[in-house]
Structure 1
Amino acid sequence: MSGIIGKKIGMTTIYSNGEAVPCTLIEAGPCVVTQIRTEENDGYSAVQLGYGEKKEKRTTKALMGHFKKANTTPKRKLVEFKEFEKQFTLGDTVRVEEVFVEGEFLDVSGKTKGKGFQGVVKRHGFAGVGQSTHGQHNRGRHPGSIGACSYPARVFKGIKMGGRMGNTNVTIQNLKVMKVFADKNLIVVSGSVPGPKNALVTLHK
């Protein structure tokens, strides 16, 4: 299997070769095989994994039938993984120690914290116009001039301005697996991963 689904627990520190390494603790799995894609039926090969419990009353009837085929309870998150080595059957359980070992590198995908509508200082790191306002009133964190003169008489697309910040899908690459606790379904990776505590993330090679 090339990956697994997990939940971000929080951050901690691990000492490696005399250095303090900031790490993220992730509860990875156990995941259930909820569907198997084949070349004959779907045009590609993949294994769909499900993670996290979900109430039946919040699950559509179509998805309930989908989970019943795999003889499992409703799951919060479903992800397909295309690269896998062993043969799976519906209802199989995939655990973290079967996918990752200590010392290898992985990528973590998740959704960043949503911060709502933010100005240019917080969103893009602008310095503002400074404390010397030269007669301007209340301009400390404003963006300043954004357009040209009579030509082109418009604001170019893509210019850095205030707007919605965060709540986007982000992948952090090449995080090292520091520890794997198979009995607790935990994996410790170096560095930070997207999202707040208890956010669902996808780990893949």
Structure 2
Amino acid sequence: MTDLITLQGKQVNLQLGKETINGILLDAGKDIVVIFNGQRYIYIPLLHVHHFQLNSNKDDYVDSPSESSAFAKMDLLNVKEVLNKSKAVFTEIYVGKDLSYYGYITNVYNDYVAFYSPIYKLIFISIDHIKWLVPFNENSSPYTLNNMNLSLGKSHVHLRVSPTNFPLLPNLEDQLKKEAGKLVIFDGGKDPKKVGLLKKIENNLAEIILAKGENICLRLSHIKSIQIP
């Protein structure tokens, strides 16, 4: 039986639900793979890979990268290590349904990351919902902002972005319990039923009050990202 490790250096096709990624498989760890798609190094948690195969369509082949990934020499390739390695590196995190966040991982916790976006500010992103991440090179910054344009909380950023300057809890559900009584935006706010006043978190459910006063309960396990505006 073919596994991803035996396909290293080959042109492959990975199916992630409705999304397909073609490229050269550069590395494979126990729960994550690295694909070069001709332009970017994409780190894809295996949790979201439905199936994979050698790419038989030569029209989809990509050229080999001219330089190695910034993380090419990682001793241990797994999701948590890649997330920790990405801290303070300009990164794209894609959580599905055309929703990507651009900015910096500031902290990695048990089941979520704290992520700083120059536009959305602090975001909590569920690790299980990260479909892929793309760390950019050290000379890149979001929206071409320079370091002095980036800030987190009350502190200016000097070397990219610093960890959050207030304590966060290690588990997402516990952290959200602390946010009760605040306005929240779930999953980018594309669905109006995911924007409202967070009433409480209980039994893996988030109860929120919508703009017109209706109450709705959302399963936490299906929530990809949380913003506290």
Q: Same fold (TM over 0.5)?
A: no
Q: Which has the larger radius of gyration?
A: 1
Structure number with the bigger relative contact order (C-alpha 8 A, sep ≥ 6) is: 1
**Normalization by structure 1: what TM-score?**
0.29
Structure having the higher helix fraction is: 2
State the TM-score, normalizing by the size of structure 2.
Answer: 0.26
